[in-house]
Structure 1
Amino acid sequence: MSVSMLRAAVRGPSSSFFRANTLLARPQPLAARAGLVVPSMLATSSFSTTTRMRSDHEETFEEFSARYEKEFDGVQDVFELQRNLNNAFAYDLVPSASVLSAALKAARRVNDFPTAVRIFEGIKAKVENKGQYQQYLDELKPLREELGITLKEDLYPEEAN
């Protein structure tokens, strides 16, 4: 099911901006004129809680990776780094090793050691099994050693699962 079909199903029938004005022009019941809130009037709102997507293009994994690598390359402060990490990990996928590498370099650039450690915690939470986590650790090991990033499992061995 495409996102646009789902959005149309959630939104319901389309209405114009001026629909709310026509409600005010109708004769109101005595309770409404007296200043009492009538529940039936609240149910006629035409506002939507969904947001419009900028385009109908579905992003491929390669485009996603390239976009976030570029985002992390431009990070200038801790807020940007953490915002980009939250956005990258919010998707229903595990970011590629190249994206995580760019994120680790950005964490080093803004001198944020705790966030660098948390990146690996995020990977551990997103992968399906320990084997996949180990593959990420193996691939990112040279960069981890270069940047001096230790894992939470190494910092707190008694809490390791």
Structure 2
Amino acid sequence: MSSTSLFRLAARSRCLSRTARPALSTRAPTSRQVFQDGNMTTRGFSASARLAADVDAHDPHHEESFEEFTARYEKEFEQVNDVFELQRNLNNAFAYDLVPSTSVITAALRAARRVNDYPTAVRVFEGIKAKVENKAQYDEYLKELEPIREELGVNLKETMYPDSS
């Protein structure tokens, strides 16, 4: 028996078995079934089910919280092995409509040191300066990141080239 004959036989037997079974009710509920005594019965998703669905991190439309963003990029920068990965992660981190936290910046600076990429470490601070809303926020970031800058020996562009900024 050829494979086409087997396929036809299998397809027909499936169709026959469907017609032999009683059909399940697939009609939408009527308004009388949904609204009983003025109260709506729980048909469909409940609010808690929708909230549980919103927590699914694998959903492509999942809204990532700032804490999840921070944890994800800290982990990404800890795993950096070359300059390309470092710059790609920095590009992705700064592409969001937020300024990365100081812990993410610290992880990025340590990754830049690990792959021996001093220019990228300097550019991290230029990226912060471009992302913040005002100079006061930039000064707060500099104040918070001063220990890591001193530890790694990263100078700011403003201190290296005072006339150009």
Same fold at TM > 0.5:
yes
In the alignment, structure 1 residue 70 sits paired with structure 2 residue 75: yes
Aligned to 1:96: 101
Q: Which has the higher contact order (CA 8 A, sep 6+)?
A: 1
**In the alignment, residue 76 of structure 2 is paired with which amino acid?**
E
Q: How does 1:85-124 map to 2 (within 5 A)?
A: 85-124=90-129
**In the alignment, residue 143 of structure 2 is paired with which amino acid?**
D
- How far does the alpha carbon of each residue in 1:85-113 deviate from its partner, in whole angstroms, 9 at most, with x for none? 00000000000000000000000000000
Structure 1 residue 55 displacement after superposition: 2.9
Q: How does 1:11-160 map to 2 (within 5 A)?
A: 54-160=59-165
Structure 1 residue 54 displacement after superposition: 4.5
Larger Rg: 2
Structure 1 residue 56 displacement after superposition: 3.3
Q: In structure 2, list runs of 5 or more residues that go unmatched.
A: 1-57
- How far does the alpha carbon of each residue in 1:55-103 deviate from its partner, in whole angstroms, 9 at most, with x for none? 3321100000000000000000000000000000000000000000000
Q: In structure 1, list runs of 5 or more residues that go unmatched.
A: 1-52
Scaled by the length of structure 1, the TM-score of the pair is: 0.65
Q: Percent identity?
A: 74
Give the RMSD, CA atoms, in angstroms.
1.1
